[in-house]
Amino acid sequence: MRLVIAADHGGFPLKEELVPFLQRTGHQVSDLGAYHLDPADDYPDFAKLVADAVASGRADRGIVVCGSGVGACVAANKVPGVRAAICHDTYSAHQGVEHDKMNVLCLGGRVIGAEAAKEIAAAFLGARFSCEERHVRRLNKLKAIEQEALR
């Protein structure tokens, strides 16, 4: 899977542990930054990089890590076509893809540890949208809300 990942200073240490893990599991990982720890960087910049790559189709899915996961999630969801969620458990990570076609995972680098984050990322990346009628119907309603907001 073509995957993009990025983090601000709050998520940088966790991202640095996730990238090699994701590469070892066979994903094509593009690290969009930060490339060094900079307390002055801002999560919206990194969330937008990931969200743009996913929305444009340059990546299949994305992961954004900030301190709590909240800011990255809010920022990523501003990009049309992105369905981002904070997941700090494996159930939400796979269910968000299976039912909601989530395409960006947001993690809190100050909230969860590296081993949990690896399990959550694996659940997210291993999941597929169910294509069940009820989930397609709900996804279409989400897309309609997005289109209405864009007008």
Catalytic residues, by residue number, are 66, 99
Nearest to 7 by CA among 107, 148, 94, 74: 107
Which segments of the chain does DSSP mark as H helices, in order? 12-24, 43-56, 70-76, 90-100, 114-126, 133-150
